[in-house]
């Protein structure tokens, strides 16, 4: 879709650059502006004349991970939480290289020289990404070695190298090596009879140089550091040594009769994004299983080495791995700091955030009996807007499904699963329901990135229990968060529905901030029932009363509402737009927001991750303000709020403002029913955008700056939740 057509989109228009799947339909009566406002050619031109109006998405992502690193640098945060942010930064950057950098390399190799919306060619993007990421990696290593290690030592937690161990600690390590580590190790030599071994992605390795004392010939060997052992080996008294140090000290055991000359750690990151041709559901399942095996053999995109590495060894690695010098990161060790999660998990509550336990939402709380509340009775009386992790997932969504599985009046359960935990009670409830004879439909998205293996396993388990398992639609990922229970009641069949912004994962529900709506609203239930039929069968329902559904109507519907706010402002009515999302990249939505700003509409965006929009540009986006909140919980909910001439409207749902969400995924936004629920979301946004709330703020040049606010959003919400007990 061109920028021009994006600005003139109205409800009912097709997505020209979307997938080939059939449309999912349009909302029938969502907006109150008649006739709908449509920008004219001059208004469109006023936006499009700004050639540099989009920040590069890859560079914006690096700025996001920089904000994570700044949390690790913040001395006001508890020390073990700072340590955990170092681990999160490392994991984030690994995935960025495996997917985004790998994608840039593919485009360059294929000769696809298409400019990004930012105006950069893939080669320019890659060059700037490497410059930015290298600086961040060096800063990351420096923070760990110069700030975190000394601070931990001051609290009695020590991460030391082998030379710093005393004799007793070395004895402990020697015994561990002999009894457990040595039997697992496999040294792989490189010589005419042994080709250079395959180095698996993200594995930590030792590059070892040994010499034959009889011939004087030097040989290279690789020893993989086993990931099954603790990254940092405990030696007692809260002292730890890197696992590679323990192995490196005992290399003579692996190469008896040889002289060990040098040993250096290195690590390779590979392209691990899946590429699968979809034919039909069963073929897709089998193809994914094969592709997961192939993933380990993707081409390398990054080589990390310790700064002490011998130049000749580095030359060998560069040559054999087929990486360029630009793809080598030379860092102060130790490498692979993802393992710092184990340090952050130490039982030192004095060095962590104060303990927090979610509470049951007041509408679902027990009254005078220890018996759990009847979720169906509570939802039948009034819709429930859940805010996790402040509201307990276990006593709301999980209980909803568990009660449905056990309730003899429940006839059917329909559920989408994108990511779930390994021991999920959600899975158990669905299995119990199927075994009890209920109709259970589960839409499992087996293409959820990096969760494919888990989802294949749970799909098989659900199938064996008698659930109807469907893998979604060809060409589209099913990313929407839906659950529907069909119950036989005295006054007839009633549908109970949960629509959320987060995955049905009880573990991440304690760490991710998300919203969810539990409702017995017949119109919402009717919409969701039609959508499930679209996903599982051949229904071609094309109208929804309260839903926006991608790939067809999310972009169109939101742009139409943005245009409606322009019309309200021009007519002197109350106007305003507030959006909370993980990322905003889609050029059509951004251009619509620019147009609203040029008309004078106030626009506030709370974006955790990538933001390709430039706020505060004179003549383009002077009324747009962008904030980002990172902290104890991962801000994950998506909210779309509009002033609507004094009668605010709000949607929540699964869709971020990115091409993949709007064009290549099944996403759902639900319009919140009733004034009270819209007001609840409005109050949350009021706090988030309050000038005193601490947040990073985005400048027109793409720079994020912490504003120094005294109120911390998540702490304020925790305090509110505690007062509610």
Residue 115 falls within a domain, yes or no? no
Same domain, 535 and 565: no
Domain end position, chosen among 351, 380, 413: 351
Is the same domain home to 570 and 587?
yes
What is the mean predicted confidence (pLDDT) over 73-86?
A: 98
Q: Considering only residues 170 and 25, tell me which one the structure prediction assigns the higher pLDDT.
A: 170
- Residue 4 — very low, low, confident or very high, per pLDDT cuts 50/70/90? very low
501, 636 contact by CB (below 8 A)? yes
Q: pLDDT of 687-706, one tens digit each?
A: 999 999 999 999 999 999 99
Quickly state the pLDDT bin for 320 (edges 50, 70, 90): very high
Predicted local distance difference test score (pLDDT) of residue 366: 75
Q: Residues 612, 661: one domain?
A: yes
Same domain, residue pair 552 and 535: no
Q: Which of 539, 568, 590 is the last residue of a domain?
A: 539
- Given a cut of 80, whether residue 86 has pLDDT beyond it is yes
Q: Is residue 577 part of a domain?
A: yes
Distance (Å, whole) CA 43 – CA 213: 80
- Whether 113 maps to a domain, the answer reads no
On whether both 533 and 562 belong to a single domain, the answer is no
Which is the catalytic residue, given 63, 479, 563, 636? Answer: 479
Angstrom distances, CA of residue 462 to CA of 426, 469, 618: 11, 7, 56
Q: Does the predicted model carry a pTM greater than 0.95?
A: no
Task: Indicate if 201 and 227 belong to the same structural domain.
Answer: yes
Tens digit of pLDDT for each residue in 374-399? Answer: 999 999 999 999 999 999 999 999 99
- Which domain-ending residue is among 539, 567, 601? 539
- Asked whether the predicted pLDDT for residue 592 surpasses 60, the reply is yes
Check which CATH number belongs to the domain holding 654 and give it.
3.30.870.10
Confidence grade of residue 280 (pLDDT, cut at 50, 70, 90): very low
Q: Predicted confidence band at 723 (pLDDT cuts at 50, 70, 90)?
A: confident
Ordered strands of the 259-270 beta sheet: 188-190, 218-224, 204-211, 259-270, 300-306, 328-331
Number of domains in the chain: 3
User: For residue 469, what pLDDT band results from cuts at 50, 70 and 90?
Assistant: confident
Is residue 250 annotated as part of the catalytic site, yes or no? Answer: no
Angle at 338 between CA 333 and CA 344, to 5 degrees: 105
pLDDT tens for each residue of 552-573: 899 999 999 999 999 999 999 9
Q: What pLDDT is attached to residue 418?
A: 82
Question: What mean pLDDT is predicted for residues 450-460?
Answer: 67
pLDDT grade, residue 722 (50/70/90)?
confident
624 vs 470: which has the higher pLDDT: 624
Instruction: Give the residue-averaged pLDDT of 644-657.
Output: 96
pLDDT in tens, 528-558: 999 999 888 866 666 788 899 999 899 999 9
527/625 same-domain check: no
Q: Are residues 553 and 670 in the same domain?
A: yes
The answer to whether residue 36 sits within a structural domain is yes
Averaged over 232-259, what is the pLDDT? 96
Say yes or no to pLDDT of 287 above 60.
no
Residues 327 and 386 in one domain: no
Q: Give the per-residue SS3 of 513-564.
A: EEEEEEECCHHHHHHHHHHHHHHHCCCCCCEECCEEEECCCHHHHHHHHHHH
pLDDT band at 238 (very low <50, low <70, confident <90, very high): very high
What lies within 8 Å, CB to CB, of 322 at 6+ separation is 299, 300
pLDDT at 35 over 70: no
- Asked if pLDDT for residue 278 goes beyond 50, the answer is no
Assess whether pLDDT exceeds 60 at residue 141: yes
More confident position, 665 or 449: 665
| Residue 97 located in a structural domain | no
With beta carbons less than 8 A apart as the criterion, state whether 691 and 325 touch: no
Question: Does one domain contain both 597 and 520?
Answer: no
What band does 13 get if pLDDT is binned at 50, 70 and 90?
very low
Query: What is residue 587's predicted lDDT score, i.e. its pLDDT?
Result: 97
Residues 418 and 307 placed together within one structural domain of the fold: no
Compute the average pLDDT of residues 394-418.
Answer: 95
411 and 343 assigned to the same domain: no
Cα separation, 222 vs 206, whole angstroms: 6
Phi/psi for 533 (5° steps) reads -65, -35
User: Strands (DSSP E) along 377-511, which ranges?
Assistant: 384-388, 410-417, 439-444, 468-470, 477-478, 481-489, 492-500
pLDDT band at 470 (very low <50, low <70, confident <90, very high): confident
Q: Answer yes or no: is 72 within a domain.
A: no
Highest-confidence segment of 190-204, 212-226, 540-554? 212-226
Whether 671 and 596 have beta carbons less than 8 Å apart is answered as: no
Q: Are 272 and 99 within 8 A, CB to CB?
A: yes
Give the mean model confidence (pLDDT) for residues 241-253. 96
Per-residue pLDDT for 467 more than 80?
Answer: yes
Residue reference for tokens 């009717």: 526
Q: How far apart are CA 717 and CA 688, in angstroms?
A: 10
pLDDT at residue number 279: 41
Q: Cα–Cα distance between 292 and 272 in angstroms, integer?
A: 9
Q: Residue 511: pLDDT above 90?
A: yes
Which residues constitute the domain of residue 185? 79-90+123-351
pLDDT band at 9 (very low <50, low <70, confident <90, very high): very low
Would you state the pLDDT for residue 285? 52
Taking Cα atoms as reference points, which of 479, 427, 419, 485 lies closest to residue 452?
A: 419
Give the pLDDT score at 689.
98
Assigned domain for 182 exists: yes
Among the listed ranges 166-170, 424-428, 521-525, which one has the minimum average pLDDT value? 424-428
Q: How confident is residue 684, by pLDDT bands cut at 50, 70 and 90?
A: very high
> Which residues are bridge partners to 640 per DSSP?
579, 651
pLDDT tens digits, one per residue of 347-377: 999 999 999 999 999 999 876 556 788 999 9
Is residue 329 in a domain? yes
Higher pLDDT, 11 or 575: 575
The arithmetic mean of pLDDT across residues 587-602, rounded, is 98
Tens of pLDDT along 417-428? 887 766 689 989
Average pLDDT of the residues of the chain? 89
């Amino acid at each position: 879709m061109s920028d021009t057509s994006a600005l003139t989109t109205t409800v009912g228009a097709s997505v020209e650059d979307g997938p080939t799947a059939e449309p999912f339909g349009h909302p029938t009566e969502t907006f109150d502006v008649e006739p709908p406002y449509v920008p004219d050619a001059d208004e469109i031109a006023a936006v499009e004349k700004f050639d540099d109006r989009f920040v590069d998405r890859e560079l914006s992502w690096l700025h996001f991970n920089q904000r994570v690193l700044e949390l690790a640098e913040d001395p006001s945060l508890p020390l073990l939480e700072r340590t955990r942010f170092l681990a999160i930064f490392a994991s984030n950057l690994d995935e960025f290289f495996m997917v985004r950098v790998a994608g840039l390399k593919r485009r360059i190799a294929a000769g696809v020289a298409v400019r990004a919306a930012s105006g950069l060619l893939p080669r320019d993007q890659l060059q700037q990404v490497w410059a930015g990421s290298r600086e961040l990696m060096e800063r990351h290593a420096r923070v760990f070695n110069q700030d975190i290690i000394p601070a931990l030592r001051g609290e009695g937690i020590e991460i030391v190298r082998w030379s710093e161990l005393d004799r007793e600690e070395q004895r402990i390590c020697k015994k561990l090596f002999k009894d457990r580590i040595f039997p697992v190790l496999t040294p792989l030599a490189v010589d005419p009879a042994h080709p250079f071994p395959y180095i698996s992605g993200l594995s930590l390795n030792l590059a070892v140089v040994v010499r034959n004392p009889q011939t004087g010939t030097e040989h290279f060997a690789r020893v993989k550091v086993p990931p099954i052992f603790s990254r940092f080996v405990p030696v007692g008294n809260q002292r730890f040594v890197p696992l590679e140090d323990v192995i490196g000290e005992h290399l003579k055991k692996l190469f008896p009769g040889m002289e060990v000359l040098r040993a250096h750690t290195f690590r390779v990151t590979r392209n691990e994004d899946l590429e699968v041709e979809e034919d039909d559901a069963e073929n897709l399942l089998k193809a994914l299983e094969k592709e997961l095996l192939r993933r380990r053999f993707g081409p390398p995109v990054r080589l990390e080495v310790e700064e002490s590495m011998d130049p000749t060894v580095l030359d060998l690695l560069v040559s054999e791995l087929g990486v360029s010098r630009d793809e080598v990161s030379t860092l102060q060790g130790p490498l692979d700091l993802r393992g710092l999660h184990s340090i952050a998990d130490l039982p030192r509550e004095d060095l962590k955030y104060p303990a927090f336990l979610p509470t049951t939402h007041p509408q679902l709380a027990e009254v005078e009996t220890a018996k759990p509340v009847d979720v169906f009775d509570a939802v039948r009386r009034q819709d429930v807007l859940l805010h996790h992790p402040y509201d307990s997932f276990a006593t709301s969504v999980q209980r909803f499904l568990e009660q449905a599985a056990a309730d003899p009046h429940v006839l059917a359960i329909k559920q989408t699963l994108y990511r779930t935990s390994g021991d999920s009670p959600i899975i158990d409830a669905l299995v119990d329901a199927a075994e009890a004879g209920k109709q259970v439909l589960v839409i499992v998205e087996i293409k959820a990135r990096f969760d494919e293996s888990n989802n294949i396993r749970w799909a098989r388990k659900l199938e064996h229990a008698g659930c109807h398992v469907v893998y979604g639609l060809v060409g589209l990922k099913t990313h929407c968060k839906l659950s529907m229970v069909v119950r036989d009641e005295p006054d007839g069949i009633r549908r109970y529905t949960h629509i959320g912004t987060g995955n049905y994962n009880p573990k991440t529900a304690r760490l991710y901030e998300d919203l969810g709506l539990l409702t017995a609203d017949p119109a919402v239930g009717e919409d969701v029932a039609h959508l499930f039929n679209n996903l599982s069968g051949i229904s071609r329902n094309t109208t929804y009363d309260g839903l926006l559904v991608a790939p067809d109507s999310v972009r169109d519907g939101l742009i139409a509402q943005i245009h409606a706010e322009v019309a309200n402002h021009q007519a002197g009515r109350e106007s305003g737009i507030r959006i909370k999302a993980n990322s905003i990249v889609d050029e059509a939505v951004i251009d619509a927001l620019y147009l609203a700003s040029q008309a004078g509409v106030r626009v506030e965006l709370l974006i955790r991750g990538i933001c390709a929009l430039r706020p505060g540009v004179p003549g383009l986006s002077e009324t747009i303000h962008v904030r980002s909140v990172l902290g104890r919980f991962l801000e994950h909910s998506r909210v779309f709020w509009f002033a609507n001439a004094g009668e605010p409207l709000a949607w929540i749902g699964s869709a971020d403002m990115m091409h993949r969400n709007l064009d290549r995924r099944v996403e759902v936004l639900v319009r919140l029913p009733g004034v009270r629920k819209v007001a609840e979301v409005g109050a949350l946004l009021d706090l988030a955008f309050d000038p005193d709330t601490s947040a990073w703020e985005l400048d027109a040049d793409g720079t994020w700056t912490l504003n120094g606010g005294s109120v911390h959003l998540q702490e304020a919400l925790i305090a509110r939740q505690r007062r509610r007990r």
